Structure 1
Amino acid sequence: MSEIADTPVPVPAAGPAAVSAPDVQTVHEAYSFACMKCGFGWEQSYAIEHHTDGKGQPFIMYKVNGERVPSPLSNPTCLNCGGHVVRIMRAGTVSQVNATIDRLYHHRIAPGIAGPVPAGENPPRAPRQRRPSHDSPGPVAVNEPGRRPGPLSRLLGRLRRS
């Protein structure tokens, strides 16, 4: 109690809560990675916390889903083959490439175009088109009456006869 006002005096709680922690700046960044050994590509987002140590020197902690991980910029490791020759790119690069590949090679097949048919089904077939028959036998077409052949066909006709 305070002797002057006869009111209780607030006492700070003892323990770690009493010590004020410095503000931690958290920045969220995402990177795209591509392995130069196996060609595997992936993306990862990080929560980057900026701290100050006891000597006043700044240091950075990388976290993924709340778990501390090593910096992806210092020694990246391929998630597929474990290789360390990894290219780091801006976020979204791998997803753009994957979307382009998906559009080019995995497009939906339009109805009526050949595609996979489930086993046991007999799809209806369109009737085959027959070639039109000629009025005369042989590979040479008959000239229409009243139409005069061109100079090249006349020359070829003369050469055939000789």
Structure 2
Amino acid sequence: MSDVPVTEAYSFACMKCGHGWEQSYEIWHHTDAQGRPFVTYHVGGERVPSPLTRPTCLNCGEHVVRIMRSGQVRTAVTALEESRWRH
């Protein structure tokens, strides 16, 4: 296991129910017994599946999830709240 994980964050949007969320991951880089590199993802100290392979909606459990760069959900929610405030 590497000494220091890389932290990456992603935004997610479910195409079935419309739920959006953001999540940060600690990514640990490893090398297997044959010398091949691989990574593991961790949230809150627990190992979790890669969010890039088959993300699951936290609201409805579906797997039709769009992955975006970090900040996309926050930006959309802020814009919606500002729009409602002005009207």
TM-score normalised over the length of structure 1: 0.51
Equivalent residue for 2:48, pick from 63, 69, 92: 69
Task: Tell which has more relative contact order, 1 or 2 (C-alpha 8 A, sep 6+).
Answer: 2
Does residue 30 (structure 1) correspond to residue 9 (structure 2)? The answer is: yes
Equivalent residue for 2:63, pick from 79, 84, 94: 84
Runs of 4+ in structure 1 over 3 Å off: 22-25
Cα RMSD (Å): 1.7
Q: In the aligned structure 2, how far is the partner of 1:51 from the partner of 1:67? A: 16
Equivalent residue for 2:37, pick from 52, 58, 66: 58
| Cα pair distance change 1:58/1:100, threshold 3 Å | same
Unaligned runs of 5+ in 2: none
TM-score normalised over the length of structure 2: 0.92
8 Å Cα contact 1:24/1:51 also seen in 2? no
Q: In the aligned structure 1, how far is the partner of 2:36 from the partner of 2:5? A: 17
| Cα pair distance change 1:65/1:104, threshold 3 Å | same
- Encode CA deviations 1:131-155: one digit per residue, 9 max, x unaligned: xxxxxxxxxxxxxxxxxxxxxxxxx
The answer to which structure has the higher strand fraction is 2
Question: Between the two proteins, what is the percent identity of the paired residues?
Answer: 61
Q: CA deviation at 1:40?
A: 0.4
Q: CA deviation at 1:108?
A: 7.8
Q: CA deviation at 1:24?
A: 3.6
Equivalent residue for 1:41, pick from 9, 14, 20: 20
Unaligned runs of 5+ in 1: 1-21, 110-162
Q: CA deviation at 1:102?
A: 0.8
8 Å Cα contact 2:7/2:24 also seen in 1? yes
